[in-house]
Structure 1
Amino acid sequence: MKNIYLNAGTINEVFNDLETSFDGVLNSNNNEFNLALDTDLIKGNIDGVTFINGITSIQVNMTFCDNVTLSMESLSASSIVFAYCTKGTFKHSFGISGHQSTLKKHLSTVVTSSRSINTIVHFKKNTPVQFSIIKVETAGLAHTINDSLISNLKKTFLDKQPNYMYQGIQNLRIAEKFHQFNAITEQGMLGHIMKKDIIQSILTLEIDDNTDNIIKMSRAIKCSALHQINELKKISGSIKQYTFDAMFSKVINSKNRIFIK
């Protein structure tokens, strides 16, 4: 098991820290970053882009050669983090001993926290993972672009939900948006603007998903169904164990009667 600690900071500081810590090769141009990693512990790439309205997008494609826990400094109370898994699986918890929730392929999660506790991400060795992270900083910045989007994000995820974590079902519209994002080949300002527009449209979809009553109802039904399935599994396991114990008891009693005769 390998434990990695990642300091909080600007995207530039984070990528420089990763480059130094893991002997990577970092290429950066304006507000875009690409880090190539090929060590005994990590193999893959991390791409990042930051926009002037407090939004950062990071695309991760890597494989760990050992079980790894990545500890990141606690989120600020004004931060919102969206994560989307496109390949493999990994787990998330608040603190090393906190409850671990699993993010599987095609699922997403939303995290906010006003608690002073580190965010922990758990990776399994030799399991390729691909996921995307969008971080929105809603305070302390001059949001000169799309102030209404930031305002709606705050109303949806911060003002009413100060400690919010939701693992959603697959949203095909969001999946398609990420496909479009990863297919962008334009460089310079044009490519940057295209990426910004797609990321902002994804955030708008997230707002819709978390305010639509029909979607909320479907989530509640899903949670209820999963709970019932887990309860049935427990009951089934208890029945199997009871049946085994009863059969074992009969065999022992039968043998005892034979020996007594």
Structure 2
Amino acid sequence: MITIEITAESTEGTVRQIQEVIGGQISERWGEYTLTVNNAKATGNIRFITFDWGVGLLEYDITFHDEVILIMDASEFNPIHFTYCLEGFCKHRFGYQPEKEIKVLEQFQSVIISSREGVIIMAIFQKK
């Protein structure tokens, strides 16, 4: 299992913290950035765009070769995540507590995720 703690307050910072753990190269073209990974930890791309008006787009087209848990501390800000699962599935939970229910986001399902102040957000990607 790979655990990545995200402390960044920007989309670019988030992807750079993921890159520090799983590796890969970030390239830029016309304001669109792509983290490309092809190693023992993952294969694929994470694409991101940050708009001037404070919105960021983050697209995961990546296969993880081990379970990956992204832990996002949103205690200083409260982002709203519009999430759509195009293929496969992923999991989500608020907080570290194992008794908290893990929600599964199925293929073609969309959700809006937001949390209360001081709550940790966990995204769980299964290995393939």
Q: CA deviation at 1:8?
A: 2.2
Once residues 123 and 17 of structure 1 are traced to their aligned partners in structure 2, the CA distance between those partners, rounded to angstroms, is: 16
Looking at structure 2, the residues matched to 94 and 106 of structure 1 have their Cα atoms a distance apart, in angstroms, of 22
> Hey, which of these two has a bigger chunk of strand by percent?
2
Q: 1:22/1:92 Cα in 2 relative to 1: closer, same or farther (>3 Å)?
A: same
Residue 105 of structure 2: aligned partner: 103
Moved over 6 A (4+): none
Q: How does 1:106-121 map to 2 (within 5 A)?
A: 106-121=108-123
> 2-11 vs 86-95, which deviates more?
2-11
Residue deviations 1:52-89, cap 9 Å, x none?
12111111111111122221122623x32110000001
Alignment-derived partner of residue 13 in structure 1: 13
**Which position in structure 1 is the counterpart of 2:125?**
123
- 2:113 is aligned with what amino acid? V
- Aligned twin of 2:4: 4
Tell me: CA distance 1:18–1:122, structure 2 relative to 1, closer, same or farther (3 Å): closer
Alignment of 1:226-241 (within 5 A): none
Per-residue deviation at 1:30? 5.7
Q: Which has the higher contact order (CA 8 A, sep 6+)?
A: 2
CA distance in 1, matches of 2:85, 2:104: 10
Q: Distance in 1 between matches of 2:9 and 2:29?
A: 18
Instruction: Compare the two structures and name the one with the higher helix fraction.
Output: 1
Q: Secondary structure at the match of 2:108?
A: coil
CA deviation after TM superposition for structure 1 residue 29, in Å: 4.2
- Corresponding residue number in structure 1 for 2:45: 45
Gaps spanning 5+ residues in structure 2: where? none
Superposed, 1:136-151 pairs within 5 Å as none
Evaluate the alpha carbon distance shift between residue 87 and residue 47 of structure 1 in structure 2; reply closer, same or farther with a 3 A threshold: same
The one-letter amino acid of 1:7's match is: T
Taking the aligned partners of 1:110 and 1:5, their CA distance within structure 2 comes to 21
Instruction: Give the aligned residue type for 1:108.
Output: S
Helix, strand or coil for the counterpart of 1:86?
coil
Task: Give the conservation status (yes or no) of the 8 Å contact 1:18–1:24.
Answer: no
After superposition, the CA RMSD in angstroms is: 1.7
Structure 1 stretches lacking a partner, 5+ long = 127-261
| CA distance in 1 between partners of 2:20 and 2:103 (Å) | 30
Contact 1:15 1:33 in 2 (8 A): no
Q: Cα distance 1:30–1:116, how it changes in 2: closer, same or farther (>3 A)? A: farther
Asked whether the equivalents of residues 72 and 122 of structure 2 are also in contact (C-alpha less than 8 Å), the reply is: yes
Q: How many Å separate the matches in 2 of 1:118 and 1:17?
A: 17
TM-score, scaled to structure 1 = 0.45
